[in-house]
């Protein structure tokens, strides 16, 4: 229904397309409506009807009584009898790029509008000539539910009565230059059907009763910079499978019953889910996202995903999800050329095409695109109660010349290589996350020396809480790949990281990226010829990682020495735990996490220079490192001794306190698959025997290829 006027007549016009209708009558309802039923005139044999009501000025509620060709009759609400569900303020903030909850307005939302149940649809397609909602409820015919454009906002909307959760739909769009319409899935949808059709599904997120209020309250009060964070990175599709059902992966509910117990038993504080958002291609591991608001349907419904998060929170495990605002795939059903123009992506391939991955780059300078992406970040935290986002491929966002040759990129307005729009977007998103979700973590996967990634925005930084330490990871893996005979020539690879350790708030990480594409598993990166020797080397390395300052992230399977490279479509090789080298690695990681969490006072100082002190950094000939980890005021202290040669050594180590130093971790312990060499559980310092610029010292036995952590008191 809409108003119509001319020099002769003023009134309201009602039009309806009813393809199988013989006749149609308007049935007025409610106060202010005309009295009696009014027949609509059939203007076209296809089923197009119209009624002009002269003298009427106010829209009134009504229904349409439809008589079909077969004589059947029904009565239903007309979608065009309802006013828009979006207000002017919503549209203004969206066009401005500052709407913090745009996901509550765009997309599909089951609701009751003017007392009638149905679903409100809204989509941004500013250059489209026509947009229709098509789906199960209208035989996928775009003539039934053509949407209305809301002024100059570029937003199209319609409320369709009688459409409920579970209905499949897409948008049928006629672009500015196309002769025929095309179909697109809903960018804001929270549920999708599987490929190849990829239809969006109307879904109400209400009805789930969260049980994690206490967890969220303590998270909001936590200072994660001063608390232990040990993250288990997990791929949902390959952690565990069900052999009896063809090797299918566990679903969300099954994960909820098994994963929390495993993580708590292992001592991890958080789990990081490789992108759980909807994606069409399994082989992308989730990093080519088509549904930025939707948990993938592969493992269940959005409510099932909520139950997984809830179960993890009940076990005291935080949930971090990988979030991918750096690019999106070229799948034609999704964001590419969404309204027939380069809407979400740059038109110029020098700005809009990602050469490494064959994907498209978001146009961060467009307000509505920023609103879409920021809304995605906030929606995961709001709707699904996740505790943080690990932002993928930040380096590719920061630099216009990322992985590009001369002439393949366009400088910014100042002639530089920084992507100023992307930087603004990241800062804005981080500020909104911290404003609306206190205690939530924003973690950057950023591989360059870009300054201030974890510096607050008000101090000129990007505003992330933590950054993956890619440099330390590459250096240490390069060192460990060397034969121990030659390691002394590469000793600087172990020590160089301390030169920049406190330039950012770092996470020490060994992720999925290190165990794919021919790189070999963590176990097989070790140069020893046999499994036992490789496990011995890897144990020493893991203990160094946990003793080194910074938060921790370890990819699944690495904790027990998965022998083969990770495969996204197969379960981890859990049967390996029957063998001592693998079970020993798992027990070591468990005990490292336990020590790290028990001595929380050390974790509280790990992001600050006062928490670390070299004792011996230059003993390259023996491939030995010793250093101190200290609290900021009292509490326990650690002395760490690392011996990366297959030669047992008797070694003097300076210590700040006299008395007994307990051998908290010895990676050569029999329980871990080692030989049992060590110090019988503790060493007593030689009081007053100064060494390494410390007032006291202890004389320790360093087993071959081992790391020892001595604890005081």
CATH number of the domain at 64, please. Answer: 2.60.40.10
445 part of the active site = yes
Please name the residues in contact with 458: beta carbons below 8 A apart, sequence gap of 6 or more. Answer: none
Domain boundary among 142, 177, 201: 201
Q: Is residue 8 part of a domain?
A: yes
- The verdict on 634 and 689 lying in the same domain is yes
What pLDDT, on the 0 to 100 scale, is given for residue 135?
98
Domain boundary among 201, 232, 254: 201
What pLDDT, on the 0 to 100 scale, is given for residue 8?
55
Number of structural domains found in the chain: 3
What pLDDT, on the 0 to 100 scale, is given for residue 20?
85
**CB neighbours (10 Å) of residue 160?**
24
What pLDDT, on the 0 to 100 scale, is given for residue 642?
98
- The verdict on 29 and 122 lying in the same domain is no
What pLDDT, on the 0 to 100 scale, is given for residue 414?
96
Report the first-to-last Cα separation within the chain, whole angstroms. 80
pTM (2 decimals)? 0.95
Q: Which of 445, 606, 663, 668 is catalytic?
A: 445
What pLDDT, on the 0 to 100 scale, is given for residue 363?
97
Q: Is residue 509 part of a domain?
A: no
Burial 110-140 (b: 16+ CB within 10 A, else e): beebeebebbbbbbbbbbbeebbbbbebbeb
- The verdict on 59 and 116 lying in the same domain is no
Domain boundary among 201, 228, 243: 201
What pLDDT, on the 0 to 100 scale, is given for residue 1?
58
Q: Which of 78, 392, 514, 599 is catalytic?
A: 392
Query: Which residues are registered as beta bridge partners of 628?
Result: 613, 639
- The verdict on 139 and 176 lying in the same domain is yes
Q: Is residue 708 part of a domain?
A: yes
Phi/psi for 420 (5° steps) reads: -65, -35
What pLDDT, on the 0 to 100 scale, is given for residue 70?
86
Rg of the Cα trace of the chain?
31
**Residue 569, SS3 per DSSP:** coil
Q: Is residue 252 part of a domain?
A: no
Phi/psi for 3 (5° steps) reads: -75, 150
- The verdict on 67 and 132 lying in the same domain is no
Distance CA 338, CA 121 (A): 16
CATH number at residue 614: 2.60.40.1180
Distances (CA, A) of 325 to 344, 361, 372, 445: 11, 9, 10, 12
- The verdict on 98 and 75 lying in the same domain is no
Q: Is residue 51 part of a domain?
A: yes
Query: What is the span of the domain harbouring residue 681?
Result: 609-712
For 692, left (φ over 0), alpha (ψ -120 to 50), or beta?
left
245 part of the active site = no
- The verdict on 109 and 196 lying in the same domain is yes
What pLDDT, on the 0 to 100 scale, is given for residue 7?
46
Q: What is the mean pLDDT of each run of 10 residues along the chain (713 residues)?
A: 59 90 91 84 92 85 91 92 93 96 97 95 98 96 96 97 97 95 98 96 96 98 96 98 93 98 98 98 97 98 98 98 98 97 95 92 97 98 98 97 94 96 98 98 96 97 98 97 97 98 98 96 96 97 98 98 96 97 98 96 93 97 97 88 97 97 98 97 97 98 98 94
């Amino acid at each position: 229904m809409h108003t119509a006027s001319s020099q002769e007549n003023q009134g309201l016009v009602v039009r309806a397309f009813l393809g199988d209708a013989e006749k149609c009558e308007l049935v007025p309802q409610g106060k202010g409506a005309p009295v009696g039923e009014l027949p609509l005139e059939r203007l076209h044999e296809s089923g197009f009807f119209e009624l002009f009501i002269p003298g009427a000025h106010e829209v009134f509620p009504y229904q349409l009584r439809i008589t079909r060709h077969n004589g059947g009759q029904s009565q239903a609400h007309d979608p065009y009898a309802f006013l828009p569900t979006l207000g002017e303020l919503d549209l203004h903030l969206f066009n401005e790029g500052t709407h913090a909850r745009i996901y509550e307005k765009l997309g599909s939302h089951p609701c009751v509008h003017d007392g009638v149940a149905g679903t409100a649809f809204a989509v941004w397609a500013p250059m489209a000539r026509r947009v229709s909602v098509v789906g199960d409820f209208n035989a996928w015919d775009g003539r039934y539910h053509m949407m209305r454009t809301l002024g100059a906002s570029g937003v199209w909307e319609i409320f369709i009565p009688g459409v409920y959760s579970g209905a499949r739909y897409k948008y049928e769009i006629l672009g500015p230059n196309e002769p025929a319409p095309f179909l697109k899935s809903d960018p804001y949808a929270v549920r999708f059907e599987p490929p190849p059709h990829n239809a969006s599904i109307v879904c109400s997120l209400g009805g789930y009763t969260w049980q994690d209020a206490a967890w969220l309250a303590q998270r909001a009060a936590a200072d994660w910079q001063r608390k232990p964070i040990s993250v288990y990175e997990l791929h949902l599709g390959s952690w565990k499978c069900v052999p009896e059902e063809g090797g299918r992966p566990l679903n969300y509910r099954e994960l909820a019953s098994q994963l929390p117990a495993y993580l708590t038993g292992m001592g991890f504080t958080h789990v990081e889910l490789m992108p759980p958002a909807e994606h069409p291609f399994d082989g992308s591991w989730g990093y080519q996202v088509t549904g930025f608001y939707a948990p993938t349907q592969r493992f269940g419904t959005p409510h099932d995903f909520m139950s997984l998060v809830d179960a993890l929170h009940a076990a005291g495990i935080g949930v971090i999800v990988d979030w991918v605002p750096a690019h999106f795939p070229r799948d034609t059903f999704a964001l590419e050329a969404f309204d027939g123009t380069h809407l979400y992506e740059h038109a110029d391939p020098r700005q809009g095409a990602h050469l490494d991955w064959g994907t498209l780059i978001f146009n961060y300078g467009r307000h509505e695109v920023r609103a879409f992406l920021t809304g995605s970040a906030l929606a995961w935290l709001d709707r699904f109660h996740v505790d943080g986002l690990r932002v993928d491929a930040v380096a590719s966002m920061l630099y216009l010349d990322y992985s590009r040759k001369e002439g393949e990129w366009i400088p910014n307005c100042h002639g530089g290589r920084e992507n100023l729009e992307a930087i603004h977007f990241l800062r804005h998103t981080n500020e909104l996350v911290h404003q609306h979700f206190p205690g939530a973590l924003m973690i950057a996967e950023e591989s360059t020396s870009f300054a201030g990634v974890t510096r607050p925005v008000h101090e000129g930084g990007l505003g992330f809480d933590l950054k993956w330490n890619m440099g330390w990871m590459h250096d240490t893996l390069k060192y460990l790949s060397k034969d121990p005979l030659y390691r002394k020539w590469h000793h600087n690879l172990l020590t160089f990281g301390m030169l920049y350790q406190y330039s950012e708030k770092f996470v020490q990480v060994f992720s999925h990226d290190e165990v794919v594409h021919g790189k070999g598993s963590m176990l097989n990166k070790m140069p020893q010829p046999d499994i036992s020797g490789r496990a011995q080397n890897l144990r020493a390395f893991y203990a160094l990682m946990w003793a080194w300052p910074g938060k921790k992230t370890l990819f699944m399977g690495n904790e027990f020495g998965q022998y083969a490279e990770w495969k996204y479509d197969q379960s981890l090789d859990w049967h390996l735990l029957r063998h001592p080298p693998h079970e020993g690695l798992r027990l070591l990681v468990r005990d490292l996490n336990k020590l790290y969490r028990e001595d929380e006072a050390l974790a509280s100082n790990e992001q600050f220079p006062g928490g670390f002190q070299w004792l011996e950094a230059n003993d390259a000939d023996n491939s030995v490192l010793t250093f101190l980890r200290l609290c900021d005021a009292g509490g326990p202290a650690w002395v760490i001794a690392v011996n990366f040669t297959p030669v047992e050594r008797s070694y003097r180590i300076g210590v700040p306190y006299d008395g007994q130093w307990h051998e908290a971790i010895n990676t050569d312990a029999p329980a871990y698959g080692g030989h049992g060499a060590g110090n019988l559980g503790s060493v007593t310092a030689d009081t007053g025997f100064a060494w390494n610029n410390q007032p006291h010292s202890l004389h320790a036995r360093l087993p071959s290829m081992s790391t020892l952590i001595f604890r005081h008191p």
